Chains A and B, each alone.
Chain A
Amino acid sequence: MSTFWPLVVIGLFTGSIYGLGALGLVLTYKTTGVFNFAFGAVAMFCAFVYWQIHDTWHWTAWISIPLLLLVVAPLIGYLFELLFRPLSGLAAEVPIVVSLALLALLEVGAQLIWGGQERGFETIIPTSSFKFGSFYVGWDQLGTLIIAFMAGGFLWWLLRHTRFGMSTRAVVDNRDLAAIIGVSGDNVRRFAWMVSSTFAALLGILLTHSQELTTYNLVLVVLVSFAPAVMGRNESFPWAFGGALGLGVFTSVLHRWSTSGTVANIEAAVPWFLLFIFLIVLGGRLKEPGLSVRPMAVATGTLSTGDMEHMSARPRIQRAVALGVGAFAVAAVLPTVVPGPQVSVLTYGALWALMAVTLVVLTGWAGQISIAQVSFVGVGAFAVGHWAGAHGQNFVPAALAGMAIAVPLGLIVGIPSLRLRGLYLALATLAFALIMDYVVFNSVGISGGLTGILDHRPRIFGVSFASTTSMYELSLGVLGVVLAITFALRQGPIGRRLRILRDSPLAASTLGVNLTVTKLVTFAVCGVVAAMAGALYGSYLQSITPINFQFGLSVQLLLLVVFAGRSVLTGAVVAGVLAMIPALIVSLIGGGTIGANVGNWITLAVAVGVIGLGRNPEGTVSLSIQEAKRTLSVMRPRPRRYLGLGSPLAPERLEVSSGG
């Protein structure tokens, strides 16, 4: 008993921090319908701004804290509102992807400004402790708890007893009605973003005093607030805050048993286990405002009869095949003209393209968003690392084993998709990715811990792929085969089955499609192919650590695919090309300061791109193809016919309009 109560108290302290985050998340979700995946990044960014002002420029806390909370944070919130405002009313995936892009943007931005190393923060609250009953409590812990409760109380007062609160509730209840009686939704939303952002900033500076922090782990700590936010069903502040306290106490009490490494890993994953289970259990009862909106189709142009009508599918397919074969041929002869290091970079691109294909099929075609695809890559990579043997002689069975393991894992990620779409599916896959990070990839027995393990270049049926060129040829060959198969599938019944799942699951089910089976099989197959990509990727890297497969990379893969065009295979290839640009630049100009940051700059560019094209979730590639087609059809002197209402159907339309 003697150790139990101190753990409960400590749990309340950490729980109150998550609570602060959960309140901030629920606030913006309730008012704007946007779940802010970048919340943790805002907290981190603000913490580093504070470090800059307070610890580097040595401004006193009396100036720097108000400056941060009342100027910097609200400003960030204001910018967020500006970004998200035009996105309201679009498909649920759009704000998800845009906020993930903001997460990447702030994360990478912070790394570019402040570097990736750990920073020690000067404490705001004294760290000394006092005796409370039979145990010691730190002033900083107590201070955190008090501040969190005060913030919660402030929010309660704001919503219950102020004009803002009244307006907020009006807007949440019915935006249009609120507008009619003169409550501006824009003002409410802007204020909500600003308050939420201030909460994030508060959270950021409260966290800094407890640990040495990097940009990455600060974000990771704040992510835990997602779990209590969902426990409050994203709408109840008391439940979210209470859930956070409960979560804090629960994980803290678990500390009693966390003597060994494995248990500690599982403990870190507890919030994510809870979130995953919670999402499955709550299932359809989670409301999602975005879902009332139809999933977006390809951007609609003018209602003219374009090329599509006059050109049957066959020539289009033939042209695509010709282009694909041509591109493949060029890629295949590249090693003869390109020097070794760049060939290695090309391999990297090919393997990322292979991963991207799985996401195009899963997210672009079947409409199932996933932030866990790189976890499957990791499964394949570590399987090869463990079982392929020192000369890669057992590569094929090892890769097959990895792919076999991916099957049940794919089914597990698929389970939430049976009842969830959009945001909550994204959250469930995120939870899965973090569970994989903590429990599987961080476990020393599997991944060798932070030092990682060695992977081996494959030897397949006696043929060694140890050389750079042969590894490239193997990767390109596999990519080519997978692309060819996927392309063929898209034209056929399987491709159609996946796309009707995206466009209207309801109609698909009434026509006789078993959604459960279709979704689970899709997740499993995409997981298996990703694991296959991982088997190659691991043996290409030759030395792999958990960092190669962190959830952040799944986010990056998703952003790349969305940016490049998530519903066309060309998008996957472009994603691969984008992924290899940083490595290519490094290999050309060498490392150094520029080289070290090239990856960050590219991520930054992609993030900005994704934010910019939030209006068109089909991505740049699709967009440019469409634009090109439109330009072509304008240049061609064919008269444009307009499809009026019912034109080919009702010859009596003229009489009707003249009569009525």
Chain B
Amino acid sequence: MAAEDSAVLSARGISVRFGGLHALDEVDLEVAAGRVTGLIGPNGAGKTTLFNVLGGLLEPVAGSVHLGGADITTWPPHRRGRAGMARTFQRLELFTGMTVEENLTASWEAAHPGAIFGRGRPTRKQRVAEMMELLGLERIAGRTAGELPTGLGRMVELGRALCADPRVLLLDEPSSGLDVGETQHFARILRQLVAEAPHNGHDAGQPLAILLVEHDMALVMEVCHVITVLDFGRRIACGSPDQIQGDPAVRAAYLGETDVA
């Protein structure tokens, strides 16, 4: 199977302008099933902008976004959610007044039509239980999400996104606020998810696709199969972690940034 065929989510020729500023200039991106795709770049490179275009919070002036076979460029966020896209947020967006279990349950219900009228209750319970077990959340199932420390909050947000049974998962700076141990734990889970996560969703059998926007280079190099590098709104490189680390253009882009090691 050719690489393009397995791309669950793809963006082609995305351009975004804020006034006269070219935030994104004809950027391409592909997120394949069974892979963790990294999206990196120095501050202001356009990562968040691209992320928001993919998530439907921002409409590009040119280019298209495809999910599965469908052109979703103009779809509102909730339609993308229904079509199998789930995301987390750089700044935690938990349902703070609800318990951890309710967070996951509400997500499953939001993503599955008819669930609000009680359809598919056994499946829902099973899925939520599986996910809590996978992420080690059973112990805090009854706790109010707003009370949790960031590390646990990130896990709950991940679990919530996964309970929507997505085909593609977008992670926005998931390691911010995590300590080293928690980050490693997180990395293990990501690897596990693309490798073996049971997938009950839209096209059964196909493993999950993950897009990871991240500052933590160690994490990116450790978990990503493919990395796309943005700089000044353009794609300057795309390849395996080894290729990216050896790429002169990437080095040049990052050396301009003193704060990135």
Residues in chain A within 8 A of chain B (CB atoms) = 294-295, 297-298, 300, 303, 305, 308-313, 492-494, 496-497, 499-500, 502-504, 506-515, 567, 643-646, 648-650, 652-653, 655-656, 660
Which of B101-109, B216-224, B237-245 is the interface stretch? B101-109
Please determine whether B144 and A645 come into contact, CB atoms closer than 8 angstroms: no
Q: Which of A305, A503, A506 has the most CB of B within 10 A?
A: A503
Please determine whether A497 and B110 come into contact, CB atoms closer than 8 angstroms: yes
Please determine whether A650 and B94 come into contact, CB atoms closer than 8 angstroms: no
A313 to B102, CA, bound (A): 11
Q: Identify B95's interface contact among A298, A305, A494, A500, CB under 8 A.
A: A500
Contact with A along B112-146 (1 / 0, CB 8 A): 00011110000000000000000011011111111
A511 to B107, CA, bound (A): 6
Contacts A496-B102, A645-B149, A648-B140 given; does A510 touch B86 at CB 8 Å? yes
Which of B12-20, B31-39, B72-80 is the interface stretch? B72-80
Please determine whether A503 and B140 come into contact, CB atoms closer than 8 angstroms: no
Q: Which of B136, B137, B149 has the most CB of A within 10 A?
A: B149
Q: Identify B97's interface contact among A298, A506, A508, A515, CB under 8 A.
A: A298
Please determine whether B181 and A510 come into contact, CB atoms closer than 8 angstroms: no
Contacts A493-B116, A643-B140 given; does A503 touch B97 at CB 8 Å? yes
Which of B42-50, B63-71, B150-158, B207-215 is the interface stretch? B150-158
Kindly provide the distance from the CB of A278 to the nearest chain B CB, expressed in whole angstroms.
25
Q: Which of A305, A502, A650 has the most CB of B within 10 A?
A: A650
Residue of B nearest to A501 (CB): B95
Contacts A298-B144, A504-B94, A643-B149 given; does A510 touch B55 at CB 8 Å? yes
Q: Identify A493's interface contact among B79, B115, B136, B137, CB under 8 A.
A: B115
B164 surroundings in chain A (CB, below 8 A): 511-512
Q: Identify B117's interface contact among A298, A493, A511, A567, CB under 8 A.
A: A493
Q: Identify B86's interface contact among A493, A494, A500, A511, CB under 8 A.
A: A511
Verify if B179 is at the interface (C-beta below 8 Å from A): yes
A309 surroundings in chain B (CB, below 8 A): 139-143
Please determine whether B87 and A500 come into contact, CB atoms closer than 8 angstroms: no
Please determine whether A510 and B80 come into contact, CB atoms closer than 8 angstroms: yes
Kindly provide the distance from the CB of B47 to the nearest chain A CB, expressed in whole angstroms.
17
Kindly provide the distance from the CB of A308 to the nearest chain B CB, expressed in whole angstroms.
4
A660 to B182, CA, bound (A): 14
Residue of A nearest to B141 (CB): A309
Please determine whether B77 and A648 come into contact, CB atoms closer than 8 angstroms: no
Contact with A along B161-183 (1 / 0, CB 8 A): 10010000000000000111110
Kindly provide the distance from the CB of B76 to the nearest chain A CB, expressed in whole angstroms.
7
Please determine whether A509 and B109 come into contact, CB atoms closer than 8 angstroms: no
A511 surroundings in chain B (CB, below 8 A): 78, 81, 86, 106-107, 110-111, 160-161, 164
Please determine whether A512 and B78 come into contact, CB atoms closer than 8 angstroms: yes
A493 to B99, CA, bound (A): 14
A494 surroundings in chain B (CB, below 8 A): 116
Please determine whether A503 and B95 come into contact, CB atoms closer than 8 angstroms: yes
B179 surroundings in chain A (CB, below 8 A): 645-646, 650, 653, 656
B107 surroundings in chain A (CB, below 8 A): 511
Please determine whether A510 and B182 come into contact, CB atoms closer than 8 angstroms: no
Please determine whether B148 and A500 come into contact, CB atoms closer than 8 angstroms: no
Closest 5 CB pairs of A and B: A512-B81, A297-B146, A503-B95, A297-B96, A650-B181
Verify if B251 is at the interface (C-beta below 8 Å from A): no
